[in-house]
Every structure is written in C-alpha cells, then in structure tokens.
Amino acid sequence: MRQLSWTDDMMLRAETPTTPLQIQLLLIYDPSTAPGGKVTFKGILEELDARLHLAEVFRRRLTELPGGMPMPYWVDDPNFDLEYHVRHIGLPQPGDWRQLCIQIARLHARQIDLRRPPWEITVIEGLNAVTGIPKGSFAMALKLHHCAVDGMASVQMIAALHDLAADSPRPAGPDSPWQPGPLPSTVELLSRATINAMLHPFRSTAVLAASAPAAVRGLAGLPGKLIGGVASRVARGDVPSFPPKTRFNHTVSPHRVFEARFHDLADFKRIKASVPGATINDVALAYVGGALRAYLDGHGELPDDSLVAACPMSVRKAGDTTSKGNDLFGRLQTLGTDIADPLKRLAVIAESTAGSRADAESPATTQLLELIGTVPTALLGMTAKAASALPFSGPTIANTIVTNVPGPTEPLFFSGARLVRVAGLGPLVAGLNLIHVVASYNGTLSISATADRGALPDPGKYAECMDRSFQELLAAVD
C-alpha cells in the first residue's frame, strides 16, 4: 500500500459536488494511419488492456478508515472492470467543434467515482465537421482525479499509452498476469493509522527543526509572498495585493463550458523572440491577458487595474518520471489587461516572471511545502471545502488560473491512429471560475478555457477574443 501525500489528500478532501477536482485531456485522432484506416471500439479496449500494466494508477483505488481522518491509501482494485472506465458515445451530425466542446464540458462537470480507480475514458465518434480535422476522426476524453496525478504525470501516462509509429508493436506484457493484492483489513488500517498518529509529532518536529529557519529566511527575502495554495512575489509591486473582482470571481455552479484554440508553436517562438528574456509561457500569459481584456471590454466590464493569474507549476526534479501524485508550487502573475499594446504587455509579463522558476525550485520553497505538510490535511481540506460552500465575498486573490503542460515533441499513435490535437481541462475552485490550460504537442500549442457556465455563458465569443489576441500579438512582430 502507498499512502497519499499531503498535497494529494488535500485535493481529495477539498472536493465538492460543484467543484470536482479533476483534470481532463481531449485527444483527437486520425484513424487513416491505422491498419485498414479504421479503429474500432473493441480495438480500443484491447489496446488499453494491453497497456494497463504500464501505469499503476489504472488499477488502483483509494481505501480509508471510517471517518476518513488518516490519509487514505492506494490499493489494488479487486473488482477492476475496464469496460466500466471506458465509455463510447457519438456526436449528432454534423459533428462540429461546438458540439464536441459542449460534450467535453458535460463530461468534465461529472464527478469521478472514487470507489473505483479515479479515471475515465470516453471515446467520441462522429467528428465529421471539425475544421482542420480529417473527416472520420475520433476523440478520447481522458479524465483523472487530481489526487492521483498532476499535469506532468498525466503527460507521462499519455506517453505510456502511445507509440512513436503507426506500425509499432504493442509493448511487452507483464511477466505474469495481473493479480490484485489483498485488501488491507480494518485492523491493519487502524494499526497503520495509530503508528502514523504517534509518529506525526516527531516527524513534524523534525521538519520544523530542519526547514523552518531556511524557509523563514527565504520568506524574509520575499515579504509579499502569499501562502495558501499559491505564492507570488508581490513586494516589487509587479502584482497588486488584491486584484479587481470580475465575473470570474464568484461561487462556482455545477455547470461547465469549454473552448480551445490551436496554434503553430513556431508562431509563438517568433513572438517570444521579439521581447528579450521572454518565454513561451510569457507569450501564453500575454495571449490570455489580451483575450480577457477584449472579452471584458466587450461586456463593458474591463477594470482599470490588471487582472492576475494564479500559475501552478510542477516542481518535479529533473529525471523524475513517476506518475505518482502532485508536486506543485504556485505564483501570482499579472496578465497586463490594463495594457492595450500586445508587445508592451508581453514585456511587462516577461520582466515580472523572471526568476519565478528559480524560486519554485529553491530549497526554501521545498522546505515551505514540507512545513505546510505538517498541518493535518483534514483541516486544510475542510477549510477549502468551507470556502467553496460559502458565497465568495472575500478579497480576490486571482482572477483566473493559467497552467502550462509541455507535451511530447514528436507525433504519437494510438492503435495505429495518429494523435493530431491535444487540449486540457482543469478544475474550478471557489472564487476562480475560469482556468486556462496551455498544452504543447508536436509543434502545436493549444490554449483552452474551462469555465463556469454562469461566468462564461458565451464561450464562442470568448474563443473569438482568443483568436483576436493571438492575431494582435502576431501582427505586432510582422
């Protein structure tokens, strides 16, 4: 058995029916490269079954004591049923992009059954009128609970499910057929919980003794850092302490909308090169800032002060190829929505993000995360859940979330079908009704928006604002 980390456990406990903490990947395939130019649902099940041993998350579920006070454990699911986790639907014709987005948003709004391994795949056929996609293409919507994987780990799972060529043989199977391990007894769980409870004060003391002085010294150099899930260097005045409240800063409903745009990564590199020190992620932030500026201005709601994004990032160490849990750090980042000129907006963002990654990887950050981990996650989770249950009326910390997930740089194939597009969806939390996921794959960069339907009732309009923001950035460097 493996116990959840404190970050994974907090994500589990903070979930509510209206704020399921899950991520989803939209994967679109062209079956013309598959044998016979066709991929069947039966073939998809067979392909998945042949690869389950490559990622343990597929057949592991959670177990915990009644009351749920100790952190749960991952155990083998003795009743694992692949056909439960993999579903099959078709779009009504004509099968266009808007219909696909509506279906993806509906899937994303539904909670994953945590009595089973926390993932689902929905195969979607009938994509016959999606611009830029070959007729007859199909999609797979892969949904995973955030307590099991972070964005980087989900990319590693995607790599395990794909090949580098259409005619690649399936990976070698396990040495012996999979057999679930025995479920722990209540006595065993009680024993483990008792031992952990007895050791927790000693572990906490050790962490405090080792980490507190260095962490405090690190914080002393960053007096404006906010702690509580996201942290940002605001002491320099790069980001206002409390950004303006917008339509995206209210209580979250159970309903979702989704949109995405796909761009040539080479264009983002050209834009990046126009501002010294800028990164692809900076360009994506400027893009989001321009889209939000255009959208809110079109509704007569553009604040005078800049909007702010919470930017979670993985701090996995180089070479960490595990698919286990979350290893995240966050910062607050200005989006320059108060700046009309796209390149000036990018320059301001690039200047303010300098050194952020170094902060995330610093020993002080690691020690800070360890310090937070000494707080009982039941308390952290209940606090987050209470905040989600109440009308959001406190100060605004951020207006949206923007997260960047770099993907494979070469084409991938599933059951012989070429993966042609990738986009991501993320969870919404109290007071943050809009999240942007930036995902790269094989020379293409997607920027997607997942939002509460009440906050973004016109996702098609927002997509137009995304296109406009990109064209303004591109035109500025031509």
Burial class of residue 323, CB neighbours in 10 A (0-12, 13-18, 19+): buried
**Is there a cis peptide before residue 244, judged by omega within 30 degrees of 0?**
no
- Looking at residue 102, its pLDDT comes to 97
Q: Which residues pair with 124 in a beta bridge?
A: 89, 139
Closest by CA to 84, choosing from 58, 64, 103, is 58
Cα-atom radius of gyration of the chain, to the nearest Å? 22
- pLDDT < 50 stretches in the chain: 198-212, 214-240, 316, 318-324, 326-328, 357, 360-393
pLDDT given at position 11: 78
Name residue, tokens 């009504």. Answer: 92
pLDDT value for 20: 92
pLDDT confidence of residue 12: 83
Contact at 8 Å (CB) between 44 and 123?
yes
What's the burial of 410, exposed, middle or buried (CB within 10 Å: 0-12/13-18/19+)? Answer: exposed
Q: How far is CA 396 from the centre of its chain?
A: 21
Distance from the Cα of residue 432 to its chain's centroid: 14
Nearest partner of 316 among 305, 304, 324, judged by Cα: 324
E strands within 16-159? 22-30, 60-63, 73-76, 86-90, 119-127, 137-145
Strand ranges in 293-399 using DSSP code E only, listed in sequence order: 308-314, 328-334
Residue 381: what pLDDT? 43
Quick one: pLDDT at residue 147?
86
What does the alpha-carbon distance between residue 208 and residue 260 come to, in Å, rounded to a whole number? 44
pTM attached to this predicted model: 0.82
pLDDT, residue 195, reads 52
**Residue 389 burial (CB count, 10 A):** 12
Tokens of 252: 């979250």
Coil vs helix vs strand at 250: coil
